[in-house]
Structure 1
Amino acid sequence: MKVCVIDVGTSSIRSAVTDGSGVRCFRQQRTPPDMPEPGLVEFDATEMAEVILRTATEVVDEVGGVDAVAVTNQRGSAIVWDRRTGEPVGPALGWQDLRTVGECLAWQADGLPMVPNESATKLVYLLDQHDPDRTRDLCFGTVDTWAVWCLSQGAAHVVDLSNAAMSGMLADDAGGWSPEILDRLGVPPGCLPEIVDSTGVVGAATALPGAPPIAGIIGDQQSSLIGQRCVLEGQAKLTFGTGAFLDVCMGGDRPIAEKRSDRGTFPIVAWQESGAVVWGVEAMMIAAGSNMSWLIDDVGLLSDASQSEEMAASVPDAGGVVYVPALYGLGTPHWDFGARGALFGLTGGTTAAHIVRAVFEGVAQRAADLVEAAEADSGHRLERLRVDGGMSQNPVFTQILADTLGRTVELCPVPEGTALGAAVLAGRALGEWSSWQEVADTWSPRAVVEPAEGVDRDRWHDAVGRAARWYPELSDIGL
Structure 2
Amino acid sequence: MADFILAIDQGTTGSTVALMDSAGKVRASVNNEFPQIYPKPGWVEHRPAEIWGSVLKGIRAVLRKRICKASDIAAIGITNQRETALLWDRETGDPLNNAIVWQCRRTTDFCEKLKSDGHELDVRHRTGLVLDPYFSASKFRWLLNNTSGISRLRRAGRVAAGTVDSYLIWQLSGGESHVTDVSNASRTSLMNLKTCAWDRKMLDLFQVPVDILPRIAPSSAELGRTQGVPGLPDGIPITGVAGDQQAALFGQACFATGDAKCTFGTGSFILMNTGTEPLQSDSGLLTTVAWQLGEKDKPVFALEGGAFICGAAVQWLRDGLKIIKQAHAVEALAREVPDHGGVEFVPALTGLGAPHWAPEARGTLTGLTRGTEWGHIARATLDAMALQNADILRAMEADLGKRMKPLRVDGGAAANDLLMQIQADVLGRKLIRPQVIETTVAGACYLAGLGVGLWQSPKEIRDIWQVENEFSVTMNASARRRRQASWDKALERTLL
Is the shorter-chain TM-score for this pair beyond 0.5, marking a shared fold? yes
CA contact (8 A) 2:84 2:164 kept: yes
Cα deviation digits, residues 246-284 of structure 1 (max 9, x gap): 11112221111xxxx331111110101223311111121
Cα deviation digits, residues 129-151 of structure 1 (max 9, x gap): 01687442211110111121222
CA contact (8 A) 2:282 2:399 kept: no
In structure 2, C-alpha distance between the alignment counterparts of 1:417 and 1:95, rounded to whole Å: 21
Q: Among residues 4, 11, 31, which one is paired with 2:13 in the alignment?
A: 11
In structure 1, C-alpha distance between the alignment counterparts of 2:145 and 2:454, rounded to whole Å: 45
In structure 1, C-alpha distance between the alignment counterparts of 2:286 and 2:375, rounded to whole Å: 36
In structure 2, C-alpha distance between the alignment counterparts of 1:280 and 1:311, rounded to whole Å: 36
1:97 is matched with which residue?
Answer: 104
CA contact (8 A) 1:93 1:122 kept: yes
Q: Structure 2: where are the runs of 5+ without partners?
A: 121-130
Let me know the Cα RMSD of the aligned residues. 1.8
Question: Is 1:123–2:143 an aligned residue pair?
Answer: no
C-alpha distance 410-133 of structure 1, shift in aligned 2 (>3 A): closer
In structure 2, C-alpha distance between the alignment counterparts of 1:134 and 1:458, rounded to whole Å: 58
Deviation at 1:156, TM superposition (A): 1.6
In structure 2, C-alpha distance between the alignment counterparts of 1:131 and 1:184, rounded to whole Å: 23
Question: Is 1:36–2:29 an aligned residue pair?
Answer: no
2:116 is matched with which residue?
Answer: 109
C-alpha distance 449-441 of structure 1, shift in aligned 2 (>3 A): same
Deviation at 1:31, TM superposition (A): 3.2
Counterpart AA for 1:237: K
Question: Is 1:457–2:460 an aligned residue pair?
Answer: no
Matched ranges for 1:121-270 at <5 A: 121-130=138-147, 134-136=151-153, 137-206=158-227, 207=229, 208-211=231-234, 212-256=236-280, 261-270=281-290
Deviation at 1:325, TM superposition (A): 1.8
In structure 1, C-alpha distance between the alignment counterparts of 2:149 and 2:201, rounded to whole Å: 20
In structure 2, C-alpha distance between the alignment counterparts of 1:132 and 1:181, rounded to whole Å: 25
Counterpart AA for 1:186: Q
CA contact (8 A) 1:232 1:440 kept: no
Structure 1 residues 226-235 or 52-61, which shifts more?
Answer: 52-61
CA contact (8 A) 1:73 1:220 kept: yes
Deviation at 1:209, TM superposition (A): 1.7
Cα deviation digits, residues 357-409 of structure 1 (max 9, x gap): 21111010001101100111122311310100111011111111111111100
Counterpart AA for 2:100: L
In structure 2, C-alpha distance between the alignment counterparts of 1:103 and 1:340, rounded to whole Å: 25
Question: Is 1:388–2:416 an aligned residue pair?
Answer: no
The DSSP-based 3-state class of the residue aligned with 1:200 is: coil
The DSSP-based 3-state class of the residue aligned with 2:261 is: strand
Cα deviation digits, residues 115-137 of structure 1 (max 9, x gap): 21110110100110016874422
Cα deviation digits, residues 39-79 of structure 1 (max 9, x gap): 21111211111001110232134322222111101111111
In structure 2, C-alpha distance between the alignment counterparts of 1:313 and 1:457, rounded to whole Å: 20
In structure 2, C-alpha distance between the alignment counterparts of 1:264 and 1:60, rounded to whole Å: 44
The DSSP-based 3-state class of the residue aligned with 1:273 is: coil
CA contact (8 A) 2:46 2:99 kept: yes
In structure 1, C-alpha distance between the alignment counterparts of 2:314 and 2:208, rounded to whole Å: 40
Deviation at 1:174, TM superposition (A): 3.6
Deviation at 1:12, TM superposition (A): 2.4
Question: Is 1:45–2:48 an aligned residue pair?
Answer: yes
Counterpart AA for 1:287: I
C-alpha distance 26-353 of structure 1, shift in aligned 2 (>3 A): same
Give the number of equivalent residue pairs: 465
Counterpart AA for 2:266: T
2:450 is matched with which residue?
Answer: 428
Cα deviation digits, residues 294-330 of structure 1 (max 9, x gap): 2223332222222122212222222221111211111
In structure 2, C-alpha distance between the alignment counterparts of 1:348 and 1:115, rounded to whole Å: 44
C-alpha distance 461-405 of structure 1, shift in aligned 2 (>3 A): same
In structure 2, C-alpha distance between the alignment counterparts of 1:215 and 1:341, rounded to whole Å: 44
1:356 is matched with which residue?
Answer: 378
Q: What fraction of aligned residue pairs are identical, expressed as a percent?
A: 37
CA contact (8 A) 1:4 1:59 kept: no
C-alpha distance 175-414 of structure 1, shift in aligned 2 (>3 A): closer
CA contact (8 A) 1:61 1:209 kept: no
In structure 2, C-alpha distance between the alignment counterparts of 1:37 and 1:346, rounded to whole Å: 38
1:59 is matched with which residue?
Answer: 62
CA contact (8 A) 1:232 1:436 kept: no
The DSSP-based 3-state class of the residue aligned with 2:79 is: strand
CA contact (8 A) 2:193 2:289 kept: no
Counterpart AA for 1:80: L
CA contact (8 A) 2:7 2:19 kept: yes
Matched ranges for 1:403-442 at <5 A: 403-442=425-464
C-alpha distance 174-73 of structure 1, shift in aligned 2 (>3 A): farther
C-alpha distance 308-13 of structure 1, shift in aligned 2 (>3 A): same
In structure 2, C-alpha distance between the alignment counterparts of 1:133 and 1:22, rounded to whole Å: 45
